[in-house]
A = this chain, B = another copy of it.
Amino acid sequence: MNEHLLFNLVDLAGTFAFAISGATAARREGLDLFGILVIAYVTACGGGIARDLYIGAVPPAGLSEWRYLLTAVVAALATIVAYRQVERLDHPVRLFDAMGLGLFAVYGAHKALLATGNIEVAIILGMVTAIGGGLARDMLLARVPVVLQREIYASAAFAGAALAVLGERVGWPVLWATWLPILLCFTLRFVSLRFGWNLPRFGGSSSES
């Protein structure tokens, strides 16, 4: 399979999975049709849009490339008209979500490194690309972001972004520098989900989620 095609497929599958997580949360919160569409779109594209603002790439690709909006709308409508089936798709959706997390982190880091040449900016913006949409979703739904509370999620994105920047600086072939970090992030995320791994917590009797 052509590697470019594979990249685009993973990109859209990740967008789809992110949008489903947004639409599901919005539906559960009782938002109306339009609210569900908005939250699905923000969850899917918010991270990339923030990254583009930080590197001055305006208008952000998440706004100007219609395939992202379309993917998010289709995912939201699917969540609305076929909620039961989407819920039963829980397993593949988590798979796509973990793939999207890796691809967003790595692509975000790559784009930011290209634009700024700054390693620190690239790693941070890789993470922002991957987890920014989820943070925006939870801020809009007035809840403490799940990804900052438990599970290996933000930290998996960090690992992927950091390895991508390292690989690019060290001069790995593009294919490796792209897919190895994606694989690392995906594996960390998926294995931690499978075994219920969490990062340590140090306080808080809060039961918010």
Contact = CB atoms under 8 A, between A and B. Distances in A.
Interface of A: 26-36, 38-39, 49, 53-56, 58-60, 63-64, 66, 69, 80, 83, 112, 115-116, 118, 120-121, 124-125, 135, 138-145, 147-150, 154-155, 158, 198-206, 208
Contacts of A147: 35
Contacts of A32: 148-150, 198-201
B201 A31 contact: yes
A121 B64 contact: yes
Total copies of the chain? 3
A152 to B, nearest CB: 9
30 contacts: A27-B202, A28-B204, A29-B206, A30-B206, A32-B149, A32-B150, A32-B199, A32-B200, A33-B155, A33-B199, A33-B202, A34-B154, A34-B155, A34-B199, A35-B145, A38-B154, A39-B148, A49-B54, A53-B58, A54-B59, A54-B60, A59-B121, A63-B118, A63-B121, A63-B125, A64-B118, A64-B121, A139-B139, A139-B140, A142-B142
A149 B30 contact: yes
Given A33-B199, A34-B158, A64 B120 contact: yes
Contact of A63 (B31, B34, B120, B135): B120
